[in-house]
Every structure is written in structure tokens, then in C-alpha cells.
Amino acid sequence: MNTHPWHSHLLAGHWYSHLPAELQSSLLGMSRVRRLVPGHRLFQRGDPPCGMYAVLEGAVRIGAVNEQGKEALLSVVEAPHWFGEICLFDGQPRTHDAVSVGQCTLLHLPQAPLMAFLQEHPVYWRDIARLMSHKLRLTFINLEHLSLMPAPVRVANRLLMIAEGYGEIEPARRVLQLPQEQLALMLSLSRQTTNQILKDLQAQGIVQLAYGEIEILDIERLRALTTI
């Protein structure tokens, strides 16, 4: 039985819970807990690889800001989401910025011991690849939605994905700590358009809006909107 204090917490996530028991224990054995203050930049685009992370408490923004100060927000990851695995495969610099949202607790698997472990146990590379391939699938889906779907469907899809932890948790979250500005950035929509769509969903009794928060009242009706 694994006695690591965060083991049961991580089992709530689909990826970790389906790993072989030996791999679960090995990952926890080489990890350390990091606690971040609000707005702490964990790493930024161009930084050298530093390993993998799991969100234990709080959230992390994944995105980038160009020279003109315009932000591209890819996602806001919450517990028990894992991230940072791309650099394990290519050894290249970080592709995006990672910044803590509020108080945040992470599990950090440093690059060197993790690479040494995978070198010694290459059979586990497939498990790491499954984590990355799942995110690649989501990226393709989001690109398709961005190109083909009307704005209301894109909003409904992203709310559902966030509620389900991007496929990591079940049952889905009911309350999303998600400011409307962040949702708009993720979808490349204006804040005004996003606000109007959310107000329409609220009028239909599908969601309830509050400051910095979106509560899903009827997830099945929200899911139905994503198939339009």
C-alpha cells in the first residue's frame, strides 16, 4: 500500500490511476512538493527542461505573452492534472509560460532523475506517451472547434472540458473557478461576446454566474449544446 501523503489525491486523476503500481510509487519516490505564491512564474517559454509537474492544490495558467503584451491562454490546469512532459521527449526548451493562480501546491518530478528512471525502465515510456497523446488529441479537437464551430458551441465545449478536467476527473466539477476574461482568452473571443453567451446560458438555467466563478446547473443540457 502506498503511504505517500498525496497518493490518494492523485488517484482521482484518470492518467495516474491507470498507471502500474510500480510506476506510481516510483514517480512519487523521486518527487518533491512545491508551494507557490500567487502569480509565481514556474517556468517561461525558452527555459530549459525541468521535469514534470502535477497540480495538487490550486491552479496553473499555461500560455504566452507576445512583445506587444497580448496574451494567449491555452488552459488553466487544476488538480490532479499533470503537465510538462513534452520536454522529456525532445529535450527542447519550454514551449509556454506556466504561472500559478492563487496559492498553488505542485508535485515536481525533476528532469534528471526522471530521465534516468525511464532510461532504466524503458517500458514506462509508453505511459508517459499516453499523457502527451491525450493532450494532442484535445489540441486537435480545440483547433477544429476554433475553425468550424460557432462561438456558443465553442463556449459550451470548453466549459464541459474544464468541468471534466480535460478528461482527467469523473464526475465532472460543478463549480468552475473561471473568470470570464480567462475563458474568452482560451477561445480567442472578445470578453463581450463571451459574457453575452454566458448570460444566455444563465437565462436558460444551464449555468449560474458569479464573480470569478461559473456554476454548471445542468451538465446534460450543456453537453447537448456541444453537438449542435
Please give the model's pTM, rounded to 2 decimal places: 0.88
| Predicted confidence (pLDDT) per residue in 23-75, tens digit | 999 999 999 999 999 999 999 999 999 999 999 999 999 998 877 777 888 89
Average pLDDT, the chain: 92
| Predicted confidence (pLDDT) per residue in 175-222, tens digit | 998 999 999 999 989 999 999 999 999 999 999 999 999 999 999 999
DSSP string, the chain: ----TTHHHHTTSHHHHTS-HHHHHHHHHT-EEEEE-TT-EEE-TTPPP--EEEEEEEEEEEEEE-TT--EEEEEEEETT-EE--HHHHH-PPPSSEEEEEEEEEEEEE-HHHHHHHHHH-GGGHHHHHHHHHHHHHHHHHHHHHHHHS-HHHHHHHHHHHHHTGGGT-SSPPSEE---HHHHHHHHT--HHHHHHHHHHHHHTTSEEEETTEEEES-HHHHHHHTT-
| Predicted confidence (pLDDT) per residue in 115-167, tens digit | 999 999 999 999 999 999 999 998 898 888 888 899 999 999 999 999 998 88
Domains of the chain: 7-137 (2.60.120.10), 149-225 (1.10.10.10)
